[in-house]
Amino acid sequence: MAAFGKLYRLSATMLLSGLAAGELTAEELMESTLARIEAVNPRVNAVVSLRPASELLAEARGKDAERGGGPLHGLPIAIKDLAQTKGLRTTWGSPLLADFIPDQDDPFVARLRAAGAIVIGKTNTPEFGLGSHSYNPVHGRTVNAWNPDVSAGGSSGGAAVALATGMLALADGSDMMGSLRNPAAWNNVYGFRPSYGLVPDNPTGEMFLHQLATNGPMARSVRDLALLLDMMAGPDSRLPHSLPAQSAFSGQLEAEVRGRRIGWIGDWGGHYPMEEGVLSLCSEALATFSDLDVEVVTVQPDFDPSAIWQSWTTLRSWAVAAKLGAVYENPERRAYLKPEAIWEIERGLALSGQDIQKASEIRSDWYRKLAALFQYYDALALPAAQLFPFPSEWDWPREVAGHQMESYHHWMEVVVPASLAGIPALSLPAGFGTQGLPMGFQLFGPRGGDAALLQLGQGYARAHGEIALAP
């Protein structure tokens, strides 16, 4: 193990290489992981429901005794607390589910276990994943990896912080409204929202109508991101929108990107309020692509961004009401819901069928517009957030750059163009603002163009350089 130095600083790719070669044992890696969590987690509160150390070390020794394990054999991982983990508490950040222990894994979790990963615990999230600020009454508040006084983002805030501080080498997340992108940007790591249907969800309940949220990978490098996506992705015949099998993403990263074009939307002609420094930092980061002979062109899509927001908020409230409506209808259970959840549910329950139809028509129009834009651009770019991390004691920012925010998620509007269309979006670290806080930008491309987007990300990662761990 001496040749590996401080294990928490190493990439998942390097750790897995050492495990496969017998130069590192799963028990050694588990000991290092638990030591890092013990040292760091009390400050940031990112890893929750951690299994007993004796149990985890025994499982690691069992991995060492096995022969011919899967691609993630012996690697510790913690699962976002919105995904079911068999035998391990899954709370969704809600007191209503504070003691819930599932009897089965979500599909992608089962795939990670089958690949040899050791599930050590969960990563923190806001209640039911609502809002990009990871706090809840069950596990408390997760704070930013770089400054404990500000937000970690969300809803994959625990995952991003665990990565940024070296407690995990890989982490899963989910993204409805930027939940893989905003926390990645605010903690200086990578987050990838795949094309809808690439990573299968649970084949239970209604499966046709709600196409807004998806699971995806987070990591400290694009190579590790692609490695985890290889494990999470793949068709599921039980799901109607499941995408067909594709070649391994990790094997496609090194393609030539010279000559590709990126359309930089910026603040969409002033529509998106931006805190000072966000646009300039993202523009400077995008300039990195010039070293790769990738052209970055300013573009203003010929589409009303207010219509995108209208469509999104309608479909999102409808989806939240469908998911949590039964809880709301029970007054005793409703009392345990946070105000933002109640607001979403009541808004969703008040919608008519024609409201949903109109929102879907706008979504269809936007998808058609994107298809036309992707005839000229290989990817489009926006900041991954509209402001730098805000004080952790806030519930959500009431204004951005002097503009009042109408709802608990209005300040996240910039992530909606990709989410509404169900297309892949990659959050890349842009660097740090003058106040020392991280920011990122997002690239998004056509549905099914996940590999091409990751190729652009890998080119950027090589030119940008290795990202540092939070202190």
Does 247 qualify as catalytic in the annotation? Answer: no
The interaxial angle of helices 222-232 and 12-21, nearest 10 deg, is 70
Contacting residues for 83 by C-beta, under 8 A, at least 6 apart = 90, 106, 108, 109, 172, 174, 215
Sole residue written with tokens 């519930």: 395
Q: Give dist(CA 156, CA 145) in Å, integer.
A: 13
**Is 155 an active-site residue?**
yes
**Cβ-proximal residues to 217 (8 Å cutoff; 6+ apart), any chain:** 170, 171, 172, 173, 191, 192, 225, 226, 228, 229, 232
Q: Which of 134, 155, 174, 242 is catalytic?
A: 155
DSSP assigned state of 277: T
Beta carbons of 65 and 109 less than 8 angstroms apart: no
> Which of 322, 80, 285, 111 is CA-nearest to residue 207?
322
Eight-class DSSP state of 311:
H
- Specify burial of residue 395 (Cβ count, 10 A radius: 0-12, 13-18, 19+): middle
Q: Which of 49, 63, 80, 250 is catalytic?
A: 80
Place of tokens 């000072």: 276
- Which residue in the list 49, 134, 156, 179 is annotated as catalytic? 179
Contact residues for 72 (Cβ-Cβ < 8 A; gap 6+)? 16, 112, 115, 116, 117, 170, 231
151 is catalytic: no
Closest by alpha carbon to 228, among 196, 191, 254, 201?
191
Closest by alpha carbon to 400, among 263, 241, 267?
Answer: 267
Give the residue from 121, 152, 148, 124 showing the smallest Cα distance to 137. 124
Q: Which of 456, 429, 450 is nearest to 440 (CA)?
A: 429
Give the residues across from 403 on adjacent strands. Answer: 400
Q: What are phi and psi of 81, to 5 degrees?
A: -80, 25
What are the residue numbers of the active site? 80, 155, 179
